[in-house]
Amino acid sequence: MRMPGRVNHEADVCVVGGGMAGLCAAVSAARRGARVVLMHDRPVLGGNASSECRVHICGADRHNRLKHLRETGILEELRLENLRHNPHADFSLWDLVLYEAATREPRVSLLLNCSCVEAQVASGAVQSVTGWQMTTQTWHTVSAFIFVDCSGDGILAPLSGAEFRMGREGRDEFGESLAPEHPDTKTMGMTCLFEAREYPAPQKFEPPAWAYRYDRCEELPYGEAGHRWYRMGYWWVELGGEQNTIADAETVRDELLKICLGVWDHIKNRCPHRDEAARWALEWLQFLPAKRESRRYVTLHTLSQKDIESGGRFPDTVAYGGWSMDDHHPAGFHAVRIGAPPTLFHRAPSPYGIPYRCLVSKTVRNLMCAGRDAGCTHIAMSSTRVMGTGCSMGQAVGTAAAMAVRKGCLPHELLPFVGELQQTLLADDAYLPGVRQEFSALTRAARLTSSQGDPEPVRDGWNRQIGDDPHAWQWRPGDWISYCFPAAQDVREICLILDSGLDLLIQMSRHQRDDQLRTLPPCLPRALLVEGKTGGNWHTLYSTADNHHRLVRIPVDHPLEGVRATLRETWGDAPSRLYAFWVE
């Protein structure tokens, strides 16, 4: 009889949780040289954004209502990859995009279906974590220098003894006007969605006997107007905020299914507008509730309502948010019974900075975090919890973890090097409000010329439009831009930040009636030529007719007298912007 196996792994960085924040953390750490193990308890990556939950990725651009504020870096790369390979917006193919993002990185070892259940701690630091992989009936133990908890539920907090919060802070603790007067254990709840499809002929629906029944529109949040979009369920089918979103998750799931099917029964059989839904039928039901809130780490700094409202101006900004403080009522779906709205959207500026200190545990020396378990108050987390912001934090924490490994220091010891961390993130196409990219002396001193216009914005250090200033040089097919050096210089790498349409909507969502792109942005360069100059002659260093990236990096590693980039074609008949062009 075969006994459960045991496998030991050695890594520089172990990331627990493969949602969007965890995936970005693992990929960024690996690309910056760390050996990474990514342990995730589900069969697919992406967390709430995966095919298991199908929640759209919100962020600082608020569904593109705020132009040029979309999160770039790894998230933008994933979204463009999705447009390239998944034009029909299928969530299973999105799963594949995320899976490939992890597996194509040679330094990432991926452990799917593996639940973290134990942590070994010594001298105030995590030595190893152990997970149970149910598909192989194997125990996996990972030893690492740095551990990053992106699990959402903050599983490493109780396992390691790290200090954490759960529930709502009282108003006086952080001076938050939106907080309740006294602290409590209430949180935001969890949601189960459905997906429906329209058919040529009418479709019947007979609910199971155990589903709840809602005869009147007034029994549902937002009344008659709140359930007229049939394609993809409703975020307000939400419960758990008055219970424990971890301990009571199974019970809450059962209740959510009863509500979800009861809402669909109302739409099909009882609503005054049921004729509009006559040809619609369910084709998917969410059995893994999408969770908004549970544990949050106590970190070197706790982000608060005041921090967000003041714009998050921190010297150690490494990520950013911009979603409103979207504080769901703990009663969720049942808030309608007491005449309360299911959520309140409190004003927040966009963007606001998130400091590095919010990603470092205060009590466990080598433990970091990103996503909804990062160091925030309940009120602040009502904004930072959305997945676009989680990706921004994830890329930051992964980059920081790799830097700590390289320097041989613990996360809190990295604070004196935060400027270097910020510049690394900017070079990887992250955006940090108020932080300008500093280019190499070679880039600054080179003679910059172009086929037309003023090319200087490509080295001004701002790699997107800010306000009304595009911070870009506009080019069309046939245009070129070049750097020339007074003598041959050692060039390690050439980098360009291209135009992926930050004023367009590339979010994949079943919830929105909007203008989501299903193809690559028409302004994105498709065909691009990059040349180097040696001995007075230009020669090809890089040529592509199928680009689908915003950030293009070209390794060189030999002396050049100049470099030149030529745009040959875009993905559509649209002018294109070049936001940055530099050499190292």
Cα(first)–Cα(last) distance of the chain, in Å? 59
pLDDT for residue 1: 54
Measured in whole angstroms, the distance separating CA 329 from the mean position of its chain's CA atoms is: 24
**pLDDT over 60 (residue 363):** yes
From 307, 341, 187, 306, select the one nearest 252 (Cα to Cα): 187
pLDDT for residue 9: 99
Question: Looking at the structure, do residues 390 and 468 belong to the same domain, yes or no?
Answer: no
pLDDT for residue 573: 85
Which residues lie closer than 8 Å to 161 by C-beta, 6 or more apart?
A: 121, 363, 364
pLDDT range class, residue 540, cuts 50, 70, 90: very high
Question: Looking at the structure, do residues 398 and 452 belong to the same domain, yes or no?
Answer: no
Which sign does the torsion angle of CA 405, 407, 413, 417 carry? negative
Does residue 395 lie within any of the structural domains? yes
Question: Looking at the structure, do residues 111 and 243 belong to the same domain, yes or no?
Answer: no
| Average pLDDT taken over every residue of the chain | 98
Sequence letter at residue 427: A
Which residues lie closer than 8 Å to 254 by C-beta, 6 or more apart?
A: none
Tokens describing residue 467: 């306000």
pLDDT for residue 88: 93
Contact 162, 400 (CB under 8 A): no
Which sign does the torsion angle of CA 333, 247, 134, 49 carry? positive
pLDDT for residue 329: 98
Sequence letter at residue 534: T
Contact 110, 100 (CB under 8 A): no
Question: Looking at the structure, do residues 423 and 448 belong to the same domain, yes or no?
Answer: no
Question: Looking at the structure, do residues 410 and 492 belong to the same domain, yes or no?
Answer: no
CATH of the domain at 456: 2.60.120.260
pLDDT over 90 percentage in the chain:
97
Q: What does the pLDDT look like over 139-176, one tens digit per residue?
A: 999 999 999 999 999 999 999 999 999 999 999 999 99
**pLDDT over 70 (residue 349):** yes
Question: Looking at the structure, do residues 517 and 565 belong to the same domain, yes or no?
Answer: yes
pLDDT for residue 513: 67
**Structural domain ending residue among the three candidates 250, 265, 291:** 291
**pLDDT over 80 (residue 2):** no
Sequence letter at residue 157: A
Q: What does the pLDDT look like over 486-527, one tens digit per residue?
A: 999 999 999 999 999 999 999 999 877 667 899 999 999 999
pTM of the model: 0.98
From 69, 65, 49, select the one nearest 57 (Cα to Cα): 49
Enclosing domain of residue 454: 441-583
**Structural domain ending residue among the three candidates 273, 291, 309:** 291
Question: Looking at the structure, do residues 393 and 456 belong to the same domain, yes or no?
Answer: no
Which residues lie closer than 8 Å to 196 by C-beta, 6 or more apart?
A: 230, 231, 232, 264, 280, 281, 282, 283
pLDDT for residue 511: 78
Does residue 185 lie within any of the structural domains? no
Domain count, the chain: 3
**Structural domain ending residue among the three candidates 291, 321, 353:** 291
Does residue 183 lie within any of the structural domains? no
Q: What does the pLDDT look like over 288-316, one tens digit per residue?
A: 999 999 999 999 999 999 999 999 999 99
Average of per-residue pLDDT across 215-226:
96
CATH of the domain at 136: 3.50.50.60
Question: Looking at the structure, do residues 239 and 317 belong to the same domain, yes or no?
Answer: no
Strand partners, 115: 132
Question: Looking at the structure, do residues 9 and 80 belong to the same domain, yes or no?
Answer: yes
